Structure 1
């Protein structure tokens, strides 16, 4: 029986590397220790030498949201604009009407995706530039909260090979980066997806915006992009399956995951009231905060 070692190395930020600069490093050639899955065991993992010495890395958010090219106030995260199209419709619908001649439900985020072509993208030029500035690792968003996959996915038709660019963005950049000796990782942010196009965030059983519900009614396959809206076992199974697909297809050196919100039946409203209206309660597994240990899972294969 052969053993397939499946490992996910959660990391990272330049700030994290700086914090860990004085920590004992694990030589890249050293054998990887085994862990039993407990937090106590995982926290014993030393910082890999390549990361401890790397200091400079590149993180890229890029997807169909980049096509929109506009955000209220001209500041903030572009990757959150798809949600705000519907949350702040009084502001964004006039913009959509002026630019595309229609608004949801006739024309929504799903209809912007075909304009994401990446027709002038040269991954080797990107990788060459990254190497010139001294970067030691590169992170590209595989999937943000919007449900769009930048890789060649067999789990969703809303991916960069079947739609939009018609090429494997995650795979192509990985090849270019690794040719120049840099470490490579996709980032994965699907943990907040069920609340992204919903009326309420962090609610176990939420409902889509009315215009999104109508878009799905008119174009049923849009449900695979916008939904699901229930944070249940089916969603969790799909979340893990996509994560594993990235690992199996691209064998990344590490994998960035975002922080994990706590989903409740009231969206943590009771907690927020008790804390004077503070932000939603979240489990801080955000890898921007610290270098999390390596997770090893061994599985027998024929």
Structure 2
């Protein structure tokens, strides 16, 4: 009896082993079959969809014929100097004439009441038409200072030789413009400026310098150039002073330079 039971148990174990072996073989065969099966091909549209990014959706900005984007801050539209103040504070004392404002020679520069960092800045300017007896840096000299420190030169550079890193659209005494796109004195000219402000660490150390791109009358004349530091007439530029956002400043350099259509977009 015991021998018979032992024989039956062995037979059962052997049968179970065969079943397990068979099942394993079937599973392995099925796995190989699936790996070898051709995958369903994606359509071109499905393949293209893999690289489509749907968010974030850019904000809509309207740009009317006047050219002022709907998200711009208008700094001067010809009606008032309310967005500006004198360089020592108080009301801006420049002349308001028609749709333009003109340097009041000797009254000092003006600056925005609002501080800015990274911006797109657009403005139009005109040097005086009367140039008798004037040349070089004495013809239509002014400047656009970003964060009150970094100057893009304004100058009558039409047939007017001067040091190239001080002519119109230069980053004053730092970068010579790629070309001279100046119009004759008395004609309106435009600057479209893309500016990235410098960054400083918590301890005041420079983390990254400022960069600027300038289009003069629609022509690229400064292409993402590195601003080497504050604008200096004498000496080298530097980043000795850590700072944050600051006003845009227009210079009084003893010339009746006019400005109009000034707007800025914070980036």
Q: How would you bin the TM-score normalised by the shorter chain? A: under 0.3
Structure of higher CA gyration radius: 2
Question: TM-score normalised to the size of structure 2?
Answer: 0.25
Q: Which structure carries more strand by proportion?
A: 2
TM-score (ref. length: structure 1)? 0.23
Query: Which of the pair has the greater relative contact order for Cα pairs under 8 Å at 6+ separation?
Result: 1
Higher fraction of helix? 1
